[in-house]
């Protein structure tokens, strides 16, 4: 077996995948060792970024198809970041595809790693979508998983598989339940949660954003940068500290819409805030109300996962990382 450090990223073309790769290009070490190689897997052939301080190999592949998972781990990567998956909306509209990619793809990858026998660290991105309530206060570390979506069900199943493969010694898995990622870069999308990012991102770019819910609506967020920090911390965490429960809710910054708007005002002034249009949407209100609002992620905090400080910092990170530090006038 090659002892050079080799990192596999599935779902490498996604937003989290791209940011993880960029971060590892800037800080090309894991667990104190220099990264020698990365393999990037995604459905469409992921583009290898230029100027990486290590070799990059790309692979177009659907892990749920025969042989693909084995091929992806054929070189025995010591770190596997399993980010691949069909997103929430698509998993709901295309049941078969969602189950195939999100459940079979994950199981086949885990099984290919088991067959390989080299026992890597596996970091799996789960989601707060595993929670379905009923909620009576903040979600705690021992709260049950009752997802309202096929996406959430697939994540909950992935967590169970990860925990069992880890318990049995097939690999060292850590599952991290990501909260809403805010401010999500890119274009507005149709996700019901899209406005949490839109009301910051669009006004700072001089564009109009729609706000479909009341200003007292409370939600919990992590910046993309904090999320990448969670992934890297999960990759190097001492497994012994997990007490056999390797799936963890990640900490998040709880903030009302009013609080988000005040953070926007600090970064972009009244002009930015004036670009928010209040257009109530009772369907979105109902969906958002069914989500958990706050988390007591005590285990993750005790294990050293570091959240954003507050929503001001979340906005500042967006300005730094996406707008090159400058808010357009």
Q: Which residues of this protein are in contact with its own copies, per CB under 8 A?
A: 95, 132, 134, 141-148, 150, 153, 156-157, 160-161, 163-164, 167-168, 243-245
Give the nearest distance from C-beta 33 to its own copies in angstroms: 31
Spell out the residues 6+ positions from residue 242 whose beta carbon is closer than 8 angstroms to its own.
174, 248, 303
Give the nearest distance from C-beta 145 to its own copies in angstroms: 7
Shorter beta-carbon distance to its own copies: residue 245 or 309: 245
Q: Is 151 marked active-site?
A: yes
Q: What sign has the CA pseudo-torsion 101, 107, 110, 111?
A: negative
Strand 79-82 relative to strand 29-30, pairing? unpaired
Q: How far is CA 113 from CA 9, 100, 171, in A?
A: 14, 18, 7
Give the nearest distance from C-beta 131 to its own copies in angstroms: 10
Q: Of 67, 215, 91, 87, which Cα lies nearest the Cα of 150?
A: 91
Residue 174: what are its φ and ψ, rounded to 5°? Answer: -135, 125
Contact assessment for residue 127 and residue 151, using Cβ atoms and an 8 Å cutoff: yes
Shorter beta-carbon distance to its own copies: residue 18 or 88: 88
Give the nearest distance from C-beta 273 to its own copies in angstroms: 38
Shorter beta-carbon distance to its own copies: residue 156 or 297: 156
DSSP secondary structure string, 49-113? PTT-SSEEEEEE--TTSTTHHHHHTTT--SEEEE-----HHHHHH-HHHHIIIIIIHHHHHHHHH
Give the nearest distance from C-beta 160 to its own copies in angstroms: 5
Shorter beta-carbon distance to its own copies: residue 111 or 262: 111
Give the nearest distance from C-beta 284 to its own copies in angstroms: 20
Q: How far is CA 291 from CA 154, 175, 180, 211, 248, in A?
A: 17, 20, 11, 17, 18
Classify each residue of 30-46 as buried b or exposed e, where b means 16 or more C-beta atoms within 10 Å of its C-beta.
beeeebbbbbbbbbeeb
Shorter beta-carbon distance to its own copies: residue 142 or 270: 142
Question: 131, 151, 165, 230: which one is catalytic?
Answer: 151
Q: Give the Cα separation of 307 and 196 in Å (integer).
A: 18
Shorter beta-carbon distance to its own copies: residue 192 or 257: 192
Q: Of 27, 33, 41, 35, which Cα lies nearest the Cα of 74?
A: 41
Residues catalogued as catalytic: 151
């Amino acid at each position: 077996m090659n002892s050079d450090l080799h990192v596999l990223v599935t779902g490498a073309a996604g937003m989290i995948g791209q940011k993880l790769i960029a971060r590892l290009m800037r800080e090309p070490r894991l667990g104190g060792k220099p990264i020698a190689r990365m393999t990037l897997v995604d459905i469409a052939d992921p583009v290898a970024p230029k100027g990486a301080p290590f070799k990059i190999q790309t692979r177009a592949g659907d892990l749920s198809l025969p042989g693909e998972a084995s091929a992806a781990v054929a070189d025995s990567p010591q770190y596997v970041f399993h980010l691949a998956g069909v997103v929430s909306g698509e998993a709901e509209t295309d049941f078969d595809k969602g189950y195939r990619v999100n459940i079979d793809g994950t199981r086949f990858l885990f099984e290919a790693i088991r067959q390989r026998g080299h026992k890597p660290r596996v970091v799996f991105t789960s989601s707060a979508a595993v929670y379905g309530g009923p909620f009576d206060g903040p979600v705690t570390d021992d709260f049950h998983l009752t997802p309202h979506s096929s996406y959430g069900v697939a994540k909950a199943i992935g967590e169970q598989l990860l925990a069992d493969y880890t318990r049995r010694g097939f690999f060292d898995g850590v599952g991290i339940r990501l909260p809403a990622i805010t401010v999500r870069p890119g274009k507005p999308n149709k996700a019901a949660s899209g406005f949490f990012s839109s009301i910051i991102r669009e006004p700072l770019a001089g564009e109009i954003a729609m706000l479909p819910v009341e200003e007292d609506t409370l939600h919990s967020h992590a910046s993309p940068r904090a999320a990448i920090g969670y992934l890297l911390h999960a990759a190097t965490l001492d497994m012994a500290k997990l007490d056999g429960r390797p799936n963890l809710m990640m900490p998040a910054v709880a903030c009302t819409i009013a609080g988000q708007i005040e953070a926007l005002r600090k970064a972009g002034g009244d002009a930015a805030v004036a670009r928010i249009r209040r257009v109530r949407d009772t369907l979105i209100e109902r969906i958002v109300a069914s989500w958990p609002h706050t988390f007591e992620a005590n285990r993750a905090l005790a294990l050293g996962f570091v959240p954003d400080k507050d929503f001001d910092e979340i906005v500042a990170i967006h300005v730094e990382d996406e707008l090159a530090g400058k808010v357009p006038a």
